[in-house]
Amino acid sequence: MLARSAAIAAILLCAAGAAAVAGTPLSLDQAIELALKQNQQVKIAQYGVSKADAQAQEAVGNALPTLNVSAGFNRNIELPVFFFPVNGTLTPVRFGLDNAYQASATLTQILFNSAVFNGIGTSKIYQDAARANYKSAVATVVTETKRRYYNALAAKQFVGIAEQTLANTEENYRTISALFNEGLVAEFDQIRSQVAVENVRPEVTNAEAGYNNAVSALMTYLSMDLADTVELTTTDLGAPEALPDEDAAIIKAIQENYDLKALELQMQVADGMIDVYRSSYYPTLTFVGQWQNQGQSNTFNNWLSATSSFVGLNFSFNIFNGTKTLAQIDQAKADFASVSEQYAMLQNNVRLQVRVIINDLRSALQRIEAQQSTVQQAERGFEISRIRYTEGTGSLLEINDAQVALSRAQVNRLSALLDYYTKRAEFDRVVGNVDERYLRMAE
């Protein structure tokens, strides 16, 4: 009974220890969500959107009426003096009372100002450009997070391959040791099988170190504490999709690429600024209305007061401002030309990126397909070599060669899958195919 209780306690302790070291589950979507909430570039882009919204509101405000209210009070220590001619001589005459106040309200409404109206349209384009920059930042973070997550996931599977290789060599060693003890094989084979086991152990250690480094790189990008542990909940990279059509992908990339969209809108903003500065050559027409009340008194009682009001139109036209407007237009034209060149250059780069990525995807798919059958053949070859050895028709060299071939085929297939998925993530970013839910995650 005591032995049974001790066994149960040991099992519970082992389970508690396993629970203690279990890492926090982390899916790909959770990793992307964490990255979007922590990434500084996304935050900067969000501030850019807020600033653009405020600037658009400011531009609209310039076209709305303004109402200014003012009031003032004066205590006259000495009354104001005016000089009036009396009998041909200027004579100082004081007028007014000790206390005076005035209050007024002025209403102004722009009826026509080309700069104001063009500015409203340009500010709305600037809003769209800021949002395009935000989407570009999100797409970049999503792509980088996927790349790091896939690297960590592949590293985990590399560990599995190394561990399976070690398990195979250990099983070979046990089999050969049993045959040696029966006097069926030479001591040399036992020694060689034991050496093979010891040669594989460092590969497991290296694979585990690679996995830990990949997870640390992912956690660092997610701004997680490296003292914590995570457990990737995705267990497989999955089956790849069909190769996208190159011509259709290029067309979609030119239309939907986030960086291109942002630059195209910036080009429209630069073009709009030319019209804004050119508007200085046009007249401005403003409606003005004012109400005013003023009064005076010596004793703060019996105020003498009067009210006046008027409405009118103000017309202004810039005749000459020292070529300031011309210089501003030239600067805006230079900005427009510069952004246009950047846009054309980026278009060419996007076309090139699509072609290169599709070529890389094609290569990865071909390698995946080829290695799939290679892995199956290598597994069959390894089993045959073990059977032949136990039957006395094969050699230890055949087993070792078959094991090396199997491990290499598994690693090659996994490397091809990793290349495919990292390139696929980059492809989605280039063609503007990032899931909208990721855009909502960052908001």
How many Cβ atoms from other residues are within 10 Å of residue 94's Cβ? 10
Question: Any alpha helices (H) in 187-230, and if so which ranges?
Answer: 187-221
pLDDT of 3? 39
| Average pLDDT of the chain to the nearest whole number | 84
Taking residue 200's Cβ as centre, other Cβ atoms within 10 Å add up to 19
At 241-262, the pLDDT tens digits run: 888 899 999 999 999 999 999 9
- What is residue 22's predicted lDDT score, i.e. its pLDDT? 55
pLDDT band at 288; cut points 50, 70, 90? very high
Res 321: pLDDT: 78
Say whether pTM exceeds 0.85.
no
DSSP summary character for residue 425? H
Q: What number is the average pLDDT over the span 320-347?
A: 89
Q: What confidence tens digit (pLDDT) does each residue in 408-435 have?
A: 888 888 888 999 999 999 999 999 888 8
Q: Is the domain 26-70+112-282+322-441 a CATH 1.20.1600.10 member?
A: yes
Tens digits of residue pLDDT in 389-410? 777 777 778 877 888 888 888 8
Alpha carbon dihedral 106, 107, 112, 116, in 10-degree steps, equals 90
Give the whole-number percent of the chain exceeding pLDDT 70. Answer: 93
pLDDT at 16 over 50: no
Q: Measuring CA to CA, how many Å separate 336 from each of 201, 257, 327?
A: 62, 20, 14
Q: Which residue has the higher pLDDT, 375 or 65?
A: 65
Write down the pLDDT at residue 239: 75
Q: Which helix (H) or strand (E) holds 47?
A: helix 40-63
Beta-carbon-side half-sphere exposure of residue 272 (alpha carbons within 13 Å): 19
> How much is the pLDDT for 252?
93
Decide if pLDDT at 235 tops 80. no
Per-residue model confidence (pLDDT) at position 373: 82
The count of other CB atoms within 10 Å of the CB of residue 426 is: 19
- For residue 150, the SS3 value is helix
Taking the C-alpha atoms of residue 346 and residue 269, their distance in angstroms, rounded to an integer, is 18
Check residue 436 and give its pLDDT: 81
Query: Has residue 438 got a pLDDT over 70?
Result: yes
Average pLDDT on 123-139 reads 88
pLDDT band, very low/low/confident/very high, at 15 (cuts 50, 70, 90): very low
Tens digits of residue pLDDT in 84-112 = 787 778 888 777 888 999 999 999 998 88
Q: Which residues contact 214 (CB under 8 A, 6 or more apart)?
A: 148, 151, 152, 154, 155
Minimum mean pLDDT among 22-31, 43-52, 217-226, 298-307: which range? 22-31
Q: How far apart are CA 103 and CA 74, in angstroms?
A: 12
For residue 19, pLDDT beyond 60: no
Query: Per-residue pLDDT tens for 200-211?
Result: 889 889 999 999
What residues does each domain of the chain span? 26-70+112-282+322-441
Provide the residue count of the chain: 443
Nearest-5° Cα angle at 99, 97 to 104: 110
Q: Which amino acid is at 407?
A: S
- The token pair that represents 404 in the structure block: 């090396």
Using the structure block, give the residue that is written with the tokens 């990525």. Answer: 357
| Res 13: pLDDT | 36
Longest dimension (CA), the chain: 150
Residue 441: partners with Cβ closer than 8 Å, 6 or more residues away: 32, 33, 36, 37
Provide CB contacts within 8 A for 133, sequence distance 6+.
45, 48, 262
Per-residue pLDDT of 170-221, as tens digits, reads 888 888 888 778 777 788 887 887 888 888 889 889 999 999 999 999 988 8
**What would the pLDDT profile of 145-163 be if each residue is shown by its tens digit?**
999 999 999 999 899 888 8
- Residue 354: the pLDDT is 95
- Per-residue model confidence (pLDDT) at position 368: 87
Mean pLDDT of all residues in 303-307: 89
Please give the average per-residue pLDDT across 309-324, as a whole number: 86
What DSSP state is assigned to residue 202?
H
